[in-house]
Amino acid sequence: MSFYQEMRQSVLCHGAINNVYLDRFQRGDLTDEEFHQFAGEFYNFARFFPKILVAQLVNTEDETVANELTKVLYSELGDGHTSRRHELLYRDFLRSIGRDVHEAMTHPVLPSTKSYIEGMEQLYSSGNHATALGASFGLENMAIAMWDHLIPGLTALRDSHYPQMDMTYFTFHRELESGHEEAMEMAVMAIDGGIDAGSGALSVQEREDFHRGVKKVLDYLEGFWLGLEETGVHRRQAVGAPDAAPGALHEGARQLTR
């Protein structure tokens, strides 16, 4: 198994995309309060992701890697069409479910959301290039699985409770993700001498740093989802509703949701 394949497999097996909250979301099994909390918390990711990408780009020495990161950033900003800037698409989603954009911007976030956003920014802007690229790799390679959990749940919620829901932000991202994954493949190939090579330009230490970036960003993301789940559990307990099974957490996610 090549280094690329090993890292991709570690992403697909991680709790960031295999957890009780996403499983429940995929079924559309959320109360209105839980759904609105998701919408507000996830908005912080949509808002700040371009800023986080810029932090990585300006700290990237390798020009080939920088070119691939630029493609992802350009996509996030609408590919030259300002009306297609991804954060604006998310605002359309918020308005379509009755959320005020200003309220969503100013509402205090969960500690786990704050840890996710700040942790991701620290990783992406790391002076350790392998760690920063690993974090980017982890996020881009989990994305298709994440959208494939969110979109069916949103569709169910739209059909049952929110007929005006605008899902463009989510479906548009799902269509784009193969291109983002390809950009990360090219970035890894640029620094490791080829996707299928058994060994490449990365040293043992650099590979360890890359893997550390992958794992840490996914631990932060798992903490984000489990922060939402724990909040939902507390609310259901308060009204006497049954809880979902707790599910197993990675240690990083346990720390982030405490």
Give the C-alpha separation, 44 to 51, whole Å.
11
* Confidence (pLDDT) at 241: 56
Quote the pLDDT of residue 43. 97
H-type alpha helices, the chain: 3-12, 20-26, 32-57, 63-76, 86-96, 101-106, 111-124, 129-160, 168-192, 204-238, 251-257
Residue-wise pLDDT for 209-245, tens only, equals 999 999 999 999 999 999 999 997 766 666 665 554 4
Quote the number of domains for the chain: 1
What pLDDT, on a 0 to 100 scale, did the predictor assign at position 237?
66
| Residues 60 and 132: beta-carbon distance below 8 Å | yes
Looking at residue 245, its pLDDT comes to 44
Max Cα distance, the chain (Å) = 57
Greater pLDDT, 61 or 161: 161
The three-state secondary structure class of 258 is coil
Structure tokens at 235: 């609310």
- The CATH number of the domain holding residue 76 is 1.20.910.10
Tell me how far apart the alpha carbons of residues 121 and 165 are, in angstroms, rounded to a whole number: 30
Helix, strand, coil content of the chain in percent (nearest 5): 75, 0, 25
Token pair listed for 38: 């998701």
pLDDT per residue as tens digits for the range 108-157: 999 999 999 999 999 998 888 889 889 988 998 999 999 999 999 999 99
Quick one: tokens of 226?
A: 């489990």
Q: Angle formed by the axes of helices 168-192 and 63-76, to 10°?
A: 180
> 63 φ, ψ to 5°?
-70, -30
- Over residues 66-82, mean pLDDT: 81
Q: How far from chain centre, in Å, is Cα 74?
A: 18
Q: Give the 3-state DSSP-derived string for 6-57, with helices as H, strands as E and coil as C.
A: HHHHHHHCCCCCCCHHHHHHHCCCCCHHHHHHHHHHHHHHHHHHHHHHHHHH
Q: Is the pLDDT of residue 76 over 60?
A: yes
Confidence at 2, pLDDT banded by 50, 70, 90: confident
Of 12, 20, 4, 31, give the one whose Cα is nearest residue 186. Answer: 4
Phi-psi region of 60 (alpha: psi -120 to 50; beta: other; left: phi over 0): beta
Residue 185's pLDDT is 64
pLDDT in tens, 143-200: 999 999 999 999 999 999 999 999 999 998 888 776 555 666 666 665 655 444 444 5
Which range marks the domain in which residue 125 is found? Answer: 3-257
pLDDT value of residue 187? 62
Alpha carbon distance 123, 134 (integer Å): 9
Six token digits for residue 214: 């992958």
Q: Which residues contact 63 (CB under 8 A, 6 or more apart)?
A: none
Structure tokens at 255: 């720390």
pLDDT at residue 212 in the model:
96
Question: Which residues lie closer than 8 Å to 219 by C-beta, 6 or more apart?
Answer: 16, 250, 251, 252, 253, 256
pLDDT band at 83 (very low <50, low <70, confident <90, very high): confident
